[in-house]
Amino acid sequence: MSTAPKSAMPRPAVPRPGLNLRPAVRLSDASLVDKQVFDSASGLPLVIRPQARGVDLLGWIRDNKTQLQQDLLQYGGLLFRDFELRTVQDFQAALAAVGVQMMNYIEKATPRKQIDGHVYTSTVFPSEHVIALHNELSYVRQWPGRIAFFCDVAAETEGETPIADVRRVLARIDHDVKEKFRKLGWMLVRNFGSGIGPSWQHSLAVDTREEAEAYMQKSDTQWTWMEGDRLRTTQVRSAIRCHPHTREELWFNHIAFWHPSSMTDEIRRSLTGDLGVDNLPYNTFYGDGSLIPDEVAAHLRVAYDAETVKFRWQPGDLLLLDNMLVAHGRSRFTGERKILTAMGDEVRPASVAPGSLD
């Protein structure tokens, strides 16, 4: 993992008293902001900071939208820092200026609180645990093309949102491992009704079995109703995707994220002992239903770890990620932490089946 000191990023200049604080250049002038890559080895993220106080971020974004889109496709992540963003409304306005077409959080897997409109809290999860890297909603029929995070309150210690370029993750995966997933894809099995994780009603945003079945049918999901109103779903998806704009191959899935070996030993023993392996809330397999060995999942985790970059949040930071190019997670932390998130720019592939890269 790579971490750069804060001193590596220049601070915005502070005007001397008596000077006219109004910029004498057009908003589109690149001299208004400084751009530097936070971690030179990975190229993530590109940090954008004002060169002077009072830069109108929304106006600058609107005047430089085309260049920002190109920057996002090149680097995968943009970190806007020191622009005096303070509220959820500031966050929403910045995303609107960028042109993100908001979408709801669908097929919910983790608890979040809806703050305002399409803005949610980040995943509510015990602070002593790490959330592994993943690309948001890689298992659904349509997923967000971009996802953004806004720091309202930074944790007392740690609490980073680690990120990794999944183009580089894919390049680190052994050829034989990669090709088997390319051929077979991956399978996600979810069990609803165990008391762990969301209910099927909450996850699918439905009230009745009929509504659930209609949703699952159109989302290429197989299902089985079990005793006690429990539901088991099965989704087979491609493990490797092509980006719709750059056409680069990407490691885009939740294979390692939900593999049982990614749990702590204590949690794995407890869940398998109480529920049985077949009834775990989440489990991943090869696309033909065969088991993924623990050592393969471990190899995938090593590939993510080798490309992981962390930066310490500062209040007012806005991180914009291309959700297909960059995976994200969460470090453990102490103290209060409030990171907001929003997602949008829905991607609808021609197929979700293994072997299809579109």
Residues 37 and 109 in one domain: yes
DSSP run (H or E) holding 324: none
Identify the pLDDT of residue 33.
95
145 CB neighbour count, 10 Å cutoff: 23
Identify the pLDDT of residue 21.
34
Contact 319, 95 (CB under 8 A): no
Residues 218 and 180 in one domain: yes
DSSP run (H or E) holding 273: helix 265-275
The torsion defined by the Cα of 75, 79, 82 and 86, in degrees rounded to 10, comes to 150
Encoding tokens for residue 48? 């954008």
Helix, strand, coil % over all residues of the chain, rounded to 5? 25, 30, 45
Cα 191–197–199 angle (5° rounding)?
70
Encoding tokens for residue 40? 């030179």
DSSP strand E in 61-137: where? 77-80, 102-103, 114-116, 119-121, 131-134
Residue 277 is assigned to a structural domain of this protein: yes
Which residues face 147 on adjacent strands? Answer: 321, 343
Query: Which parts of the chain have pLDDT scores under 50?
Result: 1-28
| Counted domains in the chain | 2
Identify the pLDDT of residue 11.
38
Residues 91 and 177 in one domain: no
Residues 315 and 295 in one domain: no
DSSP run (H or E) holding 196: none
Residues 297 and 320 in one domain: no
Residue 4 is assigned to a structural domain of this protein: no
Residue 82 is assigned to a structural domain of this protein: yes
Reported as a single tens digit per residue, the pLDDT across 235-282 is: 999 999 999 999 999 999 999 999 999 998 999 999 999 899 999 999
Residues 44 and 157 in one domain: yes
The torsion defined by the Cα of 69, 70, 73 and 78, in degrees rounded to 10, comes to -60
Identify the pLDDT of residue 27.
45
Which residue, among 36, 62, 37, 63, has the nearest Cα to 51 in the 3D structure? 36
Residue 354 is assigned to a structural domain of this protein: no
Q: Give the domain-ending residue among 303, 318, 337.
A: 303
Residue 259 is assigned to a structural domain of this protein: yes
Task: Give residue 128's domain range.
Answer: 9-15+23-162+308-347
Encoding tokens for residue 187? 């399978």
Which residues face 318 on adjacent strands? Answer: 80, 150
Reported as a single tens digit per residue, the pLDDT across 3-26 is: 444 434 443 333 333 333 333 344
Cα 185–105–347 angle (5° rounding)?
50
Residues whose CB falls within 8 Å of the CB of residue 344, separated by 6 or more in sequence, listed in order: 95, 100, 101, 102, 103, 118, 144, 145, 146
d(CA 50, CA 34): 6
97 DSSP assignment: H
Residues 208 and 315 in one domain: no
Residues 293 and 329 in one domain: no
Identify the pLDDT of residue 112.
81
Residues 205 and 226 in one domain: yes
Q: What is the CATH number of the domain that holds 219?
A: 3.60.130.10
Q: Is the pTM of this model over 0.75?
A: yes
Cα 65–70–74 angle (5° rounding)?
145
Residue 2 is assigned to a structural domain of this protein: no
d(CA 55, CA 33): 8
Maximum C-alpha span of the chain = 75
Residue 140 is assigned to a structural domain of this protein: yes
Residues 176 and 215 in one domain: yes
Residues 134 and 211 in one domain: no
Residues 42 and 95 in one domain: yes
